[in-house]
């Protein structure tokens, strides 16, 4: 406990909110802290009992694997890639496949189909577009939200969460990089090659909302996110679609969805097959930041809408 207490903490120094919490492992200062419990707080509570069992099997399989064969190789310092590459569902699932392959090689095989629902839950499919021989697929990606500084409120001091940002993954199949481009609101989307032939992946990070408390409050919103597949040889658009963070017509819902089917139906409404740019198409050039080559951050481009004005 004394060896790891000051290392297993979150960014604010709180041991209870650490991803690996040992508050209840063997705390010599309190009798309630000597329960032999290690809490893995990075795990999300799944919505189905079978997913809970799959989580327990995965953790126990990893512990058993390392107990039988400890890991002595150097750790990889991923750095900024944790908030770029590994926030996209394509790379998340490939990383999960590596974990399952590691366990299977050590005599603890787990079915991959039992863990695919975790990716589908956090990164659901938004919609697909068939543009000629190119298939464009849009999925929600993970976007960590920042905790802002302290502010005085009616109840005392509070810290707001900046929920203004969203991230999506754009995955294309049948894509020929010498011929095709994907445009995001008129700008070229940098795509990364994958081990699969003709499959390329890229992320789009954008400002979806304009709350009163947020980082970069001077930047307006970017949605709807309009995506187009361009044939550069003919300077024409093969097809276009749009992703909306809310109802495409701006309607409000009377109440939250009652079932997951209703939630999926609402999510499907936010993906529309839209009109595309007429011929000739002149794409605007954009490049991802060197620290985040997998994701194009639209806050760095001059295409946001004006901030909403206060009434009165």
pLDDT tens-digit readout, 161-209:
888 899 999 999 999 999 999 999 989 999 999 999 989 999 999 998 8
Q: Which residues pair with 169 in a beta bridge?
A: 139, 203
223 pLDDT tier (thresholds 50, 70, 90): confident
312 pLDDT tier (thresholds 50, 70, 90): very low
Which residue reads 């990889």 in tokens? 76
Dist. CA 282–CA 303, nearest whole Å:
16
> For the chain, what's the residue count?
312
Specify whether the CB–CB gap between 277 and 226 falls below 8 A.
no
DSSP 123: S
- With H, G, I as helix, E, B as strand and everything else as coil, classify residue 200: strand
Most distant pair of Cα atoms in the chain: their distance: 74
What's the pLDDT score for residue 194?
92
Backbone angles phi, psi at 268, to 5 degrees: -65, -30
Q: Burial level of 133, CB count in 10 A (0-12/13-18/19+)?
A: middle
Q: What is the pLDDT of residues 251-297, one digit of tens each?
A: 878 888 888 888 888 888 889 987 778 888 888 888 888 889 999 99
Residues 37-62 have a mean pLDDT of 90
What's the pLDDT score for residue 308?
54
What's the pLDDT score for residue 162?
86
Query: What pTM was estimated for this model as a whole?
Result: 0.85
101 pLDDT tier (thresholds 50, 70, 90): very high
Q: Is the pLDDT of residue 214 over 70?
A: yes
Q: Is the pLDDT of residue 54 over 80?
A: yes
Please state the separation of Cα 290 from the chain's center in Å. Answer: 19
What's the pLDDT score for residue 307?
57
Please state the separation of Cα 271 from the chain's center in Å. Answer: 18
Q: Is the pLDDT of residue 158 over 80?
A: yes
Extended beta strands in the chain, E state: 20-21, 39-40, 125-131, 134-140, 147-153, 156-161, 165-173, 180-184, 187-188, 192-193, 200-207, 225-231, 236-243, 271-272, 295-297
């Amino acid at each position: 406990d004394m060896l790891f207490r000051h290392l297993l903490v979150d960014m604010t120094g709180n041991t209870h909110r650490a991803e690996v919490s040992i508050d209840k492992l063997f705390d010599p200062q309190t009798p309630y802290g000597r329960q032999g419990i290690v809490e893995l707080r990075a795990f999300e509570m799944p919505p189905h009992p079978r997913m809970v069992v799959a989580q327990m099997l995965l953790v126990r399989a990893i512990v058993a694997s390392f107990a039988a064969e400890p890991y002595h190789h150097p750790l990889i310092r991923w750095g900024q890639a944790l908030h770029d590459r590994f926030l996209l569902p394509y790379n998340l699932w490939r990383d999960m496949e590596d974990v399952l392959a590691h366990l299977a090689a050590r005599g603890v095989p787990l079915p991959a189909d039992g863990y695919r629902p975790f990716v589908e839950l956090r990164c659901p499919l938004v919609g697909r577009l068939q543009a000629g021989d190119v298939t464009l697929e849009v999925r929600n990606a993970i976007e960590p939200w920042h905790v802002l500084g302290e502010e005085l409120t009616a109840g005392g001091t509070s810290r707001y969460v900046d929920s203004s940002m969203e991230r999506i993954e754009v995955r294309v199949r049948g894509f020929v990089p010498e011929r095709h481009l994907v445009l995001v609101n008129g700008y070229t989307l940098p795509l990364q090659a994958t081990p699969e032939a003709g499959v390329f992946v890229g992320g789009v990070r954008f400002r979806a909302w304009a709350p009163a408390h947020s980082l970069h409050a001077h930047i307006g919103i970017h949605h709807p996110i309009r995506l187009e597949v361009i044939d550069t040889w003919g300077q024409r658009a093969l097809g276009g679609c749009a992703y909306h963070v809310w109802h495409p017509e701006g309607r409000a819902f009377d109440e939250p969805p009652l079932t997951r089917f209703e939630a999926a139906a609402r999510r499907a409404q936010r993906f529309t097959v839209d009109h595309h740019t007429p011929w000739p198409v002149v794409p605007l050039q954009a490049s991802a930041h060197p620290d985040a080559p997998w994701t194009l951050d639209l806050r760095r481009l001059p295409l946001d809408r004006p901030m909403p004005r206060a009434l009165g």
